[in-house]
Structure 1
Amino acid sequence: MGPEQRGQSSPVGVGVWLEYDDGHKGIRVRVHSLKKGDVPPEGRDSDAKGLTYFSFRVTVENRAEEWFMVELERRHLDVRAGKDGDSVYLDYNSREIEGFKLYPLRRASATFHAAAPARRLDVIDIQVHMRIDDEPSTPYVWVGGADVPESATRTSKRATRAKDSLASEVSKFLEEQGDA
């Protein structure tokens, strides 16, 4: 299906666009720009003491012919770090999308800052379940790592050939789960 996955319920790599098919047809979203060490402009929060900051962006795009009201706040995310899926600290100083009227052919982005133990940043799962027109949207999950370039998590000829790429590992895991 290419970079625009439809009806996707299993995790995809950071940087991949996912498009909604249900009542929000024309809306697509992606998690991208995962950066280790990116502290919020306001500085470190005392609740994140001893943790390593990272940031990521969530971009929503409207390809429909009508506008949608979009809301994407910290409470619409579930972020996990490490192979055991430990919860992370989501900083209050993140830049959210609050009740934004997203017109056709326009985008809106939010930047979220989070913190977790440095040893757990090799695998990060980000689940987004934003609200569109005051209704919850289908939750989607992106997988990446703070030291893993986005190109290694995308489905491309190069990434699919790399046996040790994150996309390859995720695909292999999902295939094994389907056989179980």
Structure 2
Amino acid sequence: MDEPNVVGDWQEYDEHAGLRVRVHRLETAEPPRGRDDAAAGLTYFSVRVTVENRGARPVCVHLEDGQIDVRVGPDGEGAFIDWRNSQFIEGFDVHPLRRATAVLFAAGPEDSLGLVDVQVQLRVDDEWADRRLWVGGLGAADEPVALAPTGAAAGGLAHQVSAFLKDQPEPGGA
């Protein structure tokens, strides 16, 4: 996991030919079965994780609780995950040219939702895939950061992440 993806980007899995995943539709949303009492004072949001099979054979996909981690704010504090309202992918056969989507409901302090990190570790055919990370955030108008226009200002989240990573030393380098 050298560089994080921006929410909305597809990520190919080299170890599973034709399989790709994306985290998308990061938006404020109330959970369908009501708020959990443990999330009192927090702002709810939802995010979708879609698995697409462009390979030649079906694959059995697992994306369950514990395989998605959500962190919010500049310090990367853990978001409250509402497992009761979330919808997971539990041993679903994704056939070629088909998709399966998990919907996760989480909550965090409103002032921390400008920066949201979502880490996914998919299990495919009972084998663990590498972890992948997506970054995004919710703006003041609840517009997902990943939907910024192509000519977005240099201060955008994707630019900030890229600039930060460029300033980091190379692994194993001097």
The correspondence for 1:69, drawn from 57, 60, 63, is: 60
Aligned to 1:12: 5
Is the Cα contact below 8 Å between 2:145 and 2:157 reproduced in 1? no
> Match for 1:121: what amino acid?
L
1:103, 1:79 → 2: CA distance? 28
SS in 2 for 1:54: strand
Aligned to 2:18: 26
For the aligned residue pairs, the C-alpha RMSD in angstroms reads: 1.5
Aligned to 1:82: 73
1:72, 1:46 → 2: CA distance? 25
2:61, 2:169 → 1: CA distance? 33
Aligned length: 166
Aligned to 1:146: 138
Deviations 1:101-125 (A, max 9, x none): 0100000111100001111101000
Alignment TM-score, normalising by the size of structure 1: 0.87
SS in 1 for 2:169: helix
| Deviation of the 1:150 alpha carbon | 2.0
2:19, 2:80 → 1: CA distance? 28
Deviations 1:5-25 (A, max 9, x none): xxx632111000000011x11
The correspondence for 2:41, drawn from 34, 50, 57, is: 50
> Match for 2:4: what amino acid?
P
| Deviation of the 1:157 alpha carbon | 4.6
Is the Cα contact below 8 Å between 1:78 and 1:126 reproduced in 2? yes
Aligned to 1:3: none
Is the Cα contact below 8 Å between 1:10 and 1:140 reproduced in 2? no
1:140, 1:48 → 2: CA distance? 27
Aligned to 1:118: 110
Aligned to 1:130: 122
Gaps of 5+ in 2: none
Deviations 1:20-42 (A, max 9, x none): 011x1110000000002x11110
SS in 2 for 1:71: strand
| Deviation of the 1:130 alpha carbon | 1.5
